[in-house]
Amino acid sequence: SARRQVKIVEVGPRDGLQNEKQTLPTELKISLIEKLVDAGLRDVEAGSFVSPKWVPQMASTSEVLSSPILRTLRNRHPTLLSLPVLVPNARGLQSLFTLLDSPPHSDEELPITSEIALFVSASEGFAKANLNMSISQSLAQLPPIIEQAKGRGMAVRAYVSVVLGCPFEGRVDGKQVAEVTKELLDMGAYEVSLGDTIGVGTPGLWEELLGEVTKKAPIEKLAAHCHDTYGTGVANVLRCVELGIPTVDSSISALGGCPYSPGATGNVSTEDVVYALESSGYSTGLLPAHTDSSKRWDDLAEAGERRDAFEKLAEVGKWVSQRLGRPNGSRAGQAALKR
CB of 324 to ligand HMG, least distance (A): 18
Does 21 help bind ligand HMG (rule: CB under 6 A)? no
Residues that bind ligand HMG (rule: CB under 6 A) add up to a total of 27
Kindly state the smallest distance separating residue 17's Cβ from ligand HMG, in Å.
11
- 15 sits near Mg ion (criterion: CB under 5 A): yes
Q: Report in angstroms how near the CB of residue 197 gets to Mg ion at its nearest.
A: 6
Burial of 168: CB neighbours in 10 Å, binned 0-12, 13-18, 19+? middle
- Rounded Cα distance between 163 and 122, Å, is 6
137 binds ligand HMG (CB under 6 A): no
Q: What is the DSSP pairing of strand 4-5 with strand 222-226?
A: unpaired
Options 26-34, 44-52, 68-76, 204-212: segment touching ligand HMG (CB under 6 A): 44-52
Cα–Cα–Cα angle for 78, 33, 104, rounded to 5 degrees: 55
Helix residue ranges, H only, 103-253: 124-131, 135-140, 142-151, 174-187, 203-213, 233-242
Q: Which is nearer to ligand HMG, 112 or 264 (CB)?
A: 264
The CB-based long-range contact list for 51-58 (8 Å cut-off, 24+ gap) reads 51/88, 54/259, 55/18, 55/259, 56/23, 57/17, 57/18, 57/19, 57/20, 57/23, 57/24, 58/14, 58/17, 58/18, 58/86
d(CA 305, CA 3): 18
Q: Which one of 40, 88, 167, 201 is in contact with ligand HMG (CB under 6 A)?
A: 88
According to CB under 6 A, which one of 32, 55, 149, 252 is a site residue for ligand HMG?
A: 55
Please pick, from the candidates 8, 10, 12, 18, the single residue that binds ligand HMG as defined by CB under 6 A.
18
Q: Hey, is 267 helix, strand or coil?
A: strand
Query: DSSP character for 282?
Result: E
Stretch touching Mg ion by CB under 5 A, among 15-23, 103-111, 136-144, 172-180: 15-23
C-alpha distances out from residue 277 to 89, 117, 235, Å: 35, 25, 11
CB of 106 to ligand HMG, least distance (A): 26
Among 10, 33, 44, 49, binds ligand HMG (CB under 6 A): 49
- Rounded to an integer, what distance in angstroms lies between the CA atom of residue 91 and that of residue 334? 41
Select the residue interacting with ligand HMG from 1, 2, 22, 53 (CB under 6 A).
53
Kindly state whether residue 54 participates in binding ligand HMG, applying the rule CB under 6 A: yes
Residue 226 a catalytic site member: no
* Region 207-226 residues binding ligand HMG, contact defined as CB under 6 A: 225
Stretch that binds Mg ion, among 7-15, 90-98, 176-184, 185-193 (CB under 5 A): 7-15
206 scored as a contact of ligand HMG (CB under 6 A): no
- Asked if residue 143 has a cis previous peptide bond (ω within 30° of 0), the answer is no
- Tell me the per-residue interface mask from 231 to 270 with ligand HMG, x by CB under 6 A, - otherwise: ---------------------------x-x----------
Q: Could you give the angle at the alpha carbon of 231 between the alpha carbons of 227 and 234, nearest 5°?
A: 75
Residues that bind Mg ion (CB under 5 A): 15
Residues that bind ligand HMG (CB under 6 A): 15, 18, 48-51, 53-55, 86, 88-89, 91-92, 95, 119, 130-132, 159, 161, 195, 197, 225, 227, 258, 260
